[in-house]
Amino acid sequence: MINRCGLIRKKADMSMEEFRDFWFYNHGPIGASMKNLKHYAQHLVLDRQQRLPAPRVDYEMDGYSELWFDDIRDMEEGVASLKGAGTADLANFTEETRLLVFVKRFVTPLPEELKGQKLVKYVAFMGRGEGVSAERFHRCWLEKYAEAAKALPGVAACAQNIVIDRLVAGQHATYEAVPVEGMEELWFRSMEDLERCFASEEFAAAQELAKGFAGPVSTYLFETAKYPVPGIVEEE
């Protein structure tokens, strides 16, 4: 699955509530009209607490969009189908948007009985360690770290998103322009489960592995709003 994400910084004179409402009610219908789109979600920042002992990535956001496509060709056709309408509307409520294109894979899928329930969503945007290549980051994160992530207590679901492209102002960009190599998503049933997980020996062991390939990391908690996509029936 190809996951196209816009890392969005709101206009300075907008409250988070104004930003959220404009994004969902005004911009949402534009994004949802993309050709070939399979899933559309808007994730609003609830908490910016840095939960890992690492410097933050050099880019802060107020939310990120998530659009799923079957493959790169479908994504490119989807973007082209808007004929610039999405980009034009961003100027109405954002200061800046940087785009990441990911390949998403679930390390621990969400159990059926939790689908549709309100969960705590933790996300870490991860940069590379000094001197670490993209290839080494991918190999270490997708192999040894993923195995460690499976053992984390209290985690309802875990997904890894590996960067395959970056865009700024519609142009392909370097790692330096958008210094994120991966996005980790963890879902918990409650904040208590998150806190127990982060205090566990298993979590400490996973972070020790991460020291071998990861550098700056920005951690957030998000509130998710799914936007209905015409013709697509999703599981709740």
Give the DSSP H/E element, type plus range, for residue 203.
Answer: helix 201-210
Q: What is the pLDDT of residue 231?
A: 78
pLDDT in tens, the chain (236 residues): 999 999 999 999 999 999 999 999 999 999 999 999 999 999 999 999 999 999 999 999 999 999 999 999 999 999 999 999 999 999 999 999 999 999 999 999 999 999 989 999 999 999 999 999 999 999 999 999 999 999 999 999 999 999 999 999 989 999 999 999 999 999 999 999 999 999 999 999 999 999 999 999 999 999 999 999 987 756 55
Predicted local confidence at residue 100, as pLDDT:
98
Residue with tokens 């948007």: 97
pLDDT given for residue 230 in this prediction: 87
- Give percent helix, percent strand, percent coil of the chain, each to the nearest 5: 30, 35, 35
Q: Tokens in use for 119?
A: 């969960």
As a whole number of angstroms, the distance between CA 81 and CA 199 comes to 47
- Residue 87 and residue 83: Cα distance in Å, rounded? 9
Please give the pLDDT value at position 235: 57
Q: Which of 156, 140, 232 is nearest to 190 (CA)?
A: 156
pLDDT of residue 107: 97
Model pLDDT, residue 234:
65
Structural domains in the chain, CATH included, are: 2-226 (3.30.70.100)
Long-range CB contacts for residues 74-83, cutoff 8 Å, separation at least 24: 74/2, 74/35, 74/36, 75/2, 75/4, 75/36, 75/101, 77/35, 77/36, 78/34, 78/35, 78/36, 78/37, 79/4, 79/34, 80/35, 81/33, 81/34, 81/35, 81/36, 82/30, 82/33, 82/34
